[in-house]
Amino acid sequence: MKRAVITGLGAVTPIGNNVSDFWESLIKGKSGASAITKFDTTNHKTKFACEVKDFDPLQYITKQEVRKMDLYTQYALAATDECMKDSGLNLETCDLNKVGVIMATGIGGMSTFEEEILNFGENKNVPRFSPFFITKMISNIAAGQISIRYGLHGISYSISSACASSNNAIANALDLIRLGRANIIIAGGSEATITQAAIGGFNSMKALSTLNDTPETASRPFDKTRDGFVAGEGAGVLMIEELEHALKRGAKIYCELAGYGAASDAYHVAATHPEGLGAVLAMEGAIADSRLTTDDITYINAHATSTPVGDISECKAIEKVFGKFLKKIQISATKSMTGHLLGAAGAIESIACIKSIEDNIIPPTINLNEIDPEINSQFDFTPLRARKKEVLVVLNNTFGFGGHTSTTVFRKYQL
């Protein structure tokens, strides 16, 4: 069976607009949460989020292109630009028919949709929409724009499975590499949903934290005082390459993408299964697909959104899967720093996993001062500070509305 390795990374996040800054911020325990600047929050219950700061799309695209692209597509292109440069890939020497793109999103061009509908209402229902409305908004378009930009003729599509989206994109890329359908897949996710409608909608569901006085400490996974997730935005992109292809061109190899598992809670449109049924199946499937055992796992980057129910169900699932090995496994929740990037979460958290393997450092779970008493005390959530440790195998969990569960496994590369 063909093997897949990671040969390039790119990121745009609330705590750094490139991989280096993002990783440094994670290790330092920096929060990306602050007051929302994208709209007037006077009438919103939640007034803060993890926004991307100081993003200049003109570093990557022209003014004309900015007008034609939703922010989520701009983030995706920026992260892809870094990933391509990081990979050292020479497109002139590649078979572009076997270089593909799978760019996930949970929602797509929501800001474009919101803006156009509001304008429609203000113009007394006169249907004067932008000619770019549809092609800015649709959820596949980031993948399409990346393929167009680089002339990539391989497989190109989008995946949308809520907050599991980009983990599923990475998993699909692994399958395509294994099957020989592609030599390289540019895979990841992008999201830009800090909008009036999104924040208002999540508030109505009582999903968001409302700790407006202390936004930087509001995302507090596993803490007994957590009250909901903090919205985030940005993009993460990985170059996933067939091993022999990477070796032949002398590529830098970060690690191996060893396997994945995916399943469904089949329980509720928004709530996770109380016992983490789908999460158990995804983690067990990922470990089996990677031909590993529970004893092999060094670190778990938890989905851990800081919701009262979700964090507990994930912990129950981890406890069921790992049993007696629970004490030796390091866990952390990087959403405590980035907030929840929805469909892009799995991609940026994959980058955290990969850098953890490269640098042998486990990022912390910040804002964790007192663990919820309903959670097993044996868990080591790497509270408050990063920790040096040899990292050989990492498991990355992502779970989404609708019961979608997806787990990927990264391992230190060995020939």
Catalytic residue among 50, 94, 163, 315: 163
- In eight-state DSSP terms, residue 235 is E
How many residues comprise the chain? 415
Pairing of strands 361-362, 387-388: antiparallel
Question: Which alpha helices (DSSP H) does 179-242 contain, by range?
Answer: 196-204
Per annotation, catalytic residue among 94, 340, 353, 404: 340
CA 72 to CA 391: how far, in whole Å? 32
Active site residue 163: yes
> Under a CB-based contact definition with an 8 Å cutoff, are residues 33 and 51 in contact?
no
Active-site residue, from 94, 303, 315, 353:
303
Q: Which residues of 139-154 are buried (b: 16+ CB within 10 A; e: fewer)?
A: bbbbbbbbbebbebeb
Using an 8 Å Cβ cutoff, are 32 and 13 in contact?
A: yes
- Contact predicate 399/406, CB 8 Å: yes
What DSSP state is assigned to residue 273?
Answer: P
Distances (CA, A) of 127 to 109, 117, 121, 136, 388: 19, 10, 9, 17, 58
Closest CA to 279 of 403, 166, 163: 403
Position 331, amino acid:
I
Q: Is 303 one of the annotated active-site residues of the chain?
A: yes
In single-letter form, the type of residue at position 61 comes to I
Q: Is 255 one of the annotated active-site residues of the chain? A: no
Distance CA 124, CA 400 (A): 37
For residue 219, which amino acid is it? S
Beta carbons within 8 Å of 316's beta carbon, 6+ residues apart: 274, 275, 276
Distance CA 387, CA 114 (A): 42
CA separation for the pair 155, 13 (Å, rounded): 26
Residues with a known catalytic role: 163, 303, 340
